[in-house]
Chain A
Amino acid sequence: MVRLNVNGTLREVEAEPDTPLLWVLREQIGLTGTKYGCGIAQCGACTVHLDGTAVRSCSVPVSAVAAEQKIVTIEGLSAGADHPVQKAWAALDVPQCGFCQSGMIMASAALLAQNPHPSESEIRAEITNICRCGTYNRVLAGIQRAAESGQGSRG
């Protein structure tokens, strides 16, 4: 039995200890907003927050997460998609296919939480998620817009 704090709720799940957090979230807990894209921490589609820090959940074995650590997924980032990053994304129509965007949004939110006013070069260096549709310029503009809103550091 594995105990996890996911989006503020304590969950108990049956999973082998080496099961990646990603698949526990998706298959045992049913939170499919966190995506599988590569399984080797390359693409970032599986990004979630672990105690406020962006992690690639495909490469975090569930046994490495303690019950008191706070996991936040895209479903728990905000109520009503009103996190400044989500609002900026909506304003700029950022997503295309959208598959990478949960990870993009979670990575961006974590960046702003730690660095509320990142420079363009800091954004380019920190946001390493892959998008194949090619939304990068709107992702960049979205992060800048969220930062300008002055609420970007909201966790």
Chain B
Amino acid sequence: MSIDTRPGSAPAPAPSPVRPSRRGFLAGAAAAAGGFSLGFHLPGTGEAIAAPAGAAPEVNAWVVVRPDETVVIRIARSEMGQGTLTGLAQLAAEELGCDWARVTTEYPTPGQNLARARVWGDFSTGGSRGIRESHELVRKGGAAARMMLIEAAAQGWGVPASSCRAEKGVITHAESGRTTTYGSVAAEAAKLPPPKDVVLKDPKDWTIAGQPLKRLDTRPKLDGSQIYGMDLSLPGMLNAAIRDCPVTGGTVKSFEAEAVSGMPGVKRVVQVGETGVAVIADTFWRAKTALDALPIVWDEGPNAGVSSASIAAVLREGLDAPEAYIGNKAGDVEAALKGAERVVEAVYSVPFQNHATMEPMNATARWTPERCEVWTPTQNGEAALAATAEAAGLSAAKCEVYKIHLGGGFGRRGATHDWVRQAVLIAKEMPDTPIKLIWTREEDMTHGRYHPITQCRLRAALDRNGDLTGLHMRISGQSILAAIMPQRMVNGRDPVTFQGLNPSGPEATLGYAIPNILVDHAMRNPHIIPGFWRGVNMNPNAIYLECFMDELAHAAGQDPLAFRRKLMANHPKHRAVLDAVADKIGWSTKPPEGVARGIAQMMGFGSYVAAAAEVSVSPDGKLKVHRIVAATDPGYALNPQQIDAQIAGSFVYGLSAALHGACTVKDGRIEQTNFDTYPVMRLDEMPAVETIIMPSGGFWGGVGEPTIAVAAPAVLNAVFAATGKRVRDLPLANTDLRRA
């Protein structure tokens, strides 16, 4: 059977040789000539890397300028739809002073980063940090390259570099009227030492950064030529399908390989670690078909009796537990509650959520006793390399990971690389044979790294004026760090749990001044493994805080906007985005007949966000979200039209979870297996989203995640305004909105 039949699917030479290693780069989408060009060398295939036509040495680690004036910008972070590839290229190009129309991109590999003392910095792509944490490094890379290119031209002319300037890739010596191009001097520039002092442009002088430019990676996504991990094809490649024990903590007891070994295309049936079984076949479909027919007996282990009800009971106990980790404390909240004119109390809960990336997990691995290579969509190439090395039993220097464009990430493809480990273990069973492991949607849905399950009890003290004098938020439930990054915990405490509720700091600060406050966390960790899910703990915390603020405003007989604003005098940036959405949605005016409004604000990932929603609820309980207004202050707005796309998309992710999504547990396993039982928002439900991008400067905030947090509370507060029903047990589908 022919597996590799695509025209043009033969591995192409690396687009540019790289010092010191000649191991190639994976071409970025925009760099892919002819639509599809995988720029990696395939050792063992006998194919030499020929220096491609137009090859040029790099000016520095970030920039290659080819003789035809094409500018290749190296991107360390992963593109998964969020636009970081274009945004980072804009930053480098801005400082480089090149012609944007000639910019392409490519990914350096994690192995190259390792070999070059991490010249590209951190590869981790999560926490909306792609741009905000690497902008300086990237900008300096572009600026240093510009200085070297100008220096090379100046030396050629025998004039001081300070008398030359560069614009759109053209270097000019004004006095003599001489000009040259970046492509003409790149080879000489590459020989120069890097400059010591690099001065960056003032953002107010930007012409490429800050502009609503088109993405660089759109074209191959329009005609099917974009290659995702799942689409990879290597010579001699086999395919694998896997089933891991449905109960986390369980193991394989036995399986009957001979029952399926004669099925079409089947090559091997292998156990994967202690917990999984895989079928290797010539095609994925045949591997999956055989796996479906394979009798497997599991030892389901100690968690086989766990259910959603038993988890909820454990979390409920935590709501009143005497011991908890403190995230924010000021004054004496118990005294405030005792002395209150009125105490308001509520308990909220959020379920597990699956990331449900459109492309299920996959990785292709080839293992030999000397070397292991992996091709995979990952949010963190370096973490993928570490996982590869560990599973391969080789040092990282003997391994390599080639990042492939991601069909969605949302946090699933960053912190843990469980699927990479599996792929390597499978590849070890058939040395020197590339094997592509693809998870079915069912495997993906039931072996996620779930949005953590928590509950929250909120108690508030209102004085006789209806003003908030004390607030206790007791979060009970799962810690992400405890499960997957214990090294980042602080004295047993998980600081991420308090995202958006912190007393101070540039990352995720509470926007209200409340004289007596206690936010604490009773950590309760069920066996279902949590992970960073787009928006992370800011999402539940915003539901808890912002829905409860709405409850308090109503309890105090005050307008929800006015009630909040009184507490925000010391938080002008939080208040500015809230005011912006209130103004635009017309908060002070009456909504259209039958329509009700809700509002929410939050700060996280370094950015200030707010949303206002207009909804209606039909007599038979059907919710319609008509209109959303969303405001973001990310400090600097690198590409406003991409920020707009991220904000609009945030409502899909946030409202899918708030309205529909829940992964429930029965007999120790996740019950939902596909989109029929884990419904997500589709076009029919999508509201109009009007965005307000209001960068105030002086800080760098993320844009991919923060808005998700305000999506749910804005809509749920509007639902209350429409129906008088308070949704506290998420998702909304759990609440009957029919008129009594």
Contacts and interface: CB of A to CB of B under 8 A. Distances in A.
Contact of B221 (A16, A29, A98, A140): A98
Contact of B674 (A32, A40, A136): A40
Determine chain B's interface SS by DSSP, over half rule.
loop
A38 B441 contact: yes
A36 B231 CA distance: 10
B81 A97 contact: yes
Most chain-B CB neighbours within 10 Å: which of A23, A26, A99, A135? A99
A45 interface: yes
B356 A132 contact: yes
A34 B223 CA distance: 10
A54 interface: no
Interface in B63-89: 80-83
Nearest to A125: B684
Interface in A42-88: 42-43, 45, 73-75, 77-78, 81, 86
Given A123-B683, A132-B356, A134-B648, A31 B224 contact: yes
Interface stretch (B212-220, B247-255, B417-425): B212-220
A36 B230 contact: yes
Contacts of B359: 35, 37, 97, 99
A129 B674 CA distance: 14
Interface stretch (B107-115, B324-332, B650-658): B650-658
A30 B6 contact: yes
A78 B225 CA distance: 13
Interface in A69-121: 73-75, 77-78, 81, 86, 89-90, 93-102, 105
A115 to B, nearest CB: 15
A71 B355 CA distance: 32
B358 A93 contact: no
B408 A133 contact: yes
Most chain-B CB neighbours within 10 Å: which of A32, A35, A97? A97
Most chain-A CB neighbours within 10 Å: which of B651, B656, B683? B683
A105 B86 CA distance: 23
Contacts of B406: 97
Interface residues of B, number: 71
A33 interface: yes
B358 A130 contact: yes
A97 B407 contact: yes
Contact of A32 (B221, B231, B651, B689): B231
Contacts of A137: 648, 686, 688-689
Nearest to B217: A98
B53 interface: no
Most chain-B CB neighbours within 10 Å: which of A43, A75, A101, A131? A131
B393 interface: no
Contacts of A132: 356-358, 408, 410, 652-653, 656, 680
B21 interface: no
Contact of B675 (A32, A43, A77, A101): A43
A28 B286 CA distance: 12
B660 to A, nearest CB: 12
A38 B674 contact: yes
A30 to B, nearest CB: 4
A19 interface: yes
A39 B358 CA distance: 12
A81 B82 contact: no
B652 A95 contact: no
A23 B650 CA distance: 32
A132 B682 CA distance: 9
A75 B224 contact: yes
A35 B285 contact: no
Given A128-B683, A137-B686, A105 B222 contact: yes
B676 interface: yes
Contacts of B645: 93, 96, 135, 138
A75 B223 contact: yes
Given A98-B81, A127-B683, A130-B675, A93 B688 contact: no
Nearest to B655: A134
B264 interface: yes
Contacts of B479: none
B680 A130 contact: yes
Interface in B153-189: none
B47 interface: no
B502 interface: no
B674 A29 contact: no
A37 B445 CA distance: 11
Most chain-A CB neighbours within 10 Å: which of B9, B224, B675? B224
A105 B648 CA distance: 20
Given A96-B83, A132-B357, A140-B686, A27 B3 contact: yes
Interface of A: 14, 16, 19-20, 23, 26-40, 42-43, 45, 73-75, 77-78, 81, 86, 89-90, 93-102, 105, 123-125, 127-140
**Ranked 10 nearest A-B pairs via Cβ:** A33-B224, A134-B649, A134-B652, A97-B81, A99-B407, A98-B221, A96-B81, A32-B231, A74-B224, A30-B6
